[in-house]
Structure 1
Amino acid sequence: MKDLDKSYEIIRSIKSVKESLKHNFHKRFKDLNLTAPQGMLIGILVRKGQMKISDLSEEMALSNSTVSGIIDRLEKNKFVERKRSEEDRRVVMVDVTESFRKEAEKRFKTVEDSLSTVLKLATPEEEEKVLIGLDILDKLLNRVKDDNNSEE
């Protein structure tokens, strides 16, 4: 029974954190009508620069076809664009459009700044515990996922 209680508390905490982050993101991007995955994709591109769809898929833990659909919708709104690689014309890169880049960078900076403000309330020890705890949970979940994939 105790394991179920802990599992429930972990799930409840993750849901609460996710909702807080989603609210913060939505508040800064609601006028653009972006979904969370669309915003996540733009955020990755703003932070890391142009990427292949397969690399974006891996980063977002979504299928190539799902990411391609997200990109299609973002392209229609002129937020991102696909470009052929100069080195290998078979490779298609995705990047934030020049016309949207400054706006995207500004908005993502405000999201990051608000999270930094929250983290400043924590002691260095608390901040480290959060990072360690999230890292451990991520590794455990990936271990289970890897075990399930090897059984198939």
Structure 2
Amino acid sequence: MEKKRLENFEKIIRDICFKIKVEGRKIIKNIDISPAQFDLLQILFFRGPKRVTDLSMALGITKSTTTGLINRLEESKYLQKTKDEKDKRVTTIKITKKGENVIQEVIKARVEFMNDVLSKVENPEKLMEELENLDNIINEVRKNENK
């Protein structure tokens, strides 16, 4: 495929992702957490409890910055820290019910937004099938590149 079309394809995908993200972020404007804190909560919600190092790597930020996010979220009861019984140096971070509620509210807002979008699409089932196929191809390419 020609370079111009590939660049346009990347831009379209990036724009779609950004717009959906912005719709969800409207919810957190009414809550006392930042977008970076929200990203951390999402990781815990979808991937389960993590160590600080794992969160830092997933977010692409320093451990000290991650620790700051964690401390503020813990103060607000969005997550909790637990020391490992065997190795007190290891701390596991887990999302609380309050944190889960925030994520669920954002997902709900995104789903409502996508429902509005899909109601304007001629054949939403076909679009969903094509998007699922694209996602599978992306996963396959990523898997092959990581070998």
TM over 0.5: yes
**Aligned counterparts of 1:13 and 1:136: Cα–Cα separation in 2:** 21
SS in 2 for 1:83: strand
Q: Size of the alignment, in residue pairs?
A: 140
SS in 2 for 1:129: helix
Q: Which residue of 2 aligns with 1:146?
A: none
Cα separation, partners in 2 of 1:55 and 1:102, compared to 1, 3 Å: closer
Structure 2 segments unaligned to the other structure (5+ residues): none
Higher helix share: 1
Is 1:95 aligned with 2:99? no
- Which of 112, 134, 141 is 1:130 aligned to? 134
Is 1:121 aligned with 2:121? no
SS in 1 for 2:93: strand
Q: Which residue of 2 aligns with 1:34?
A: 33
TM-score between the two structures when normalised by the length of structure 1: 0.67
Q: Which residue of 1 aligns with 2:49?
A: 50
Q: What letter corresponds to residue 126 of structure 1 in structure 2?
A: E
Structure number with the bigger relative contact order (C-alpha 8 A, sep ≥ 6) is 2
- Say if 2:41 and 2:103, in contact at 8 Å, map to a contact too: no
Cα separation, partners in 2 of 1:136 and 1:65, compared to 1, 3 Å: farther
RMSD: 3.4
Is 1:74 aligned with 2:103? no
**Aligned counterparts of 1:128 and 1:96: Cα–Cα separation in 2:** 29
> 1:75-111, CA deviations, whole angstroms, 9 ceiling, x for partnerless residues?
343322322122321111112245x145235325415
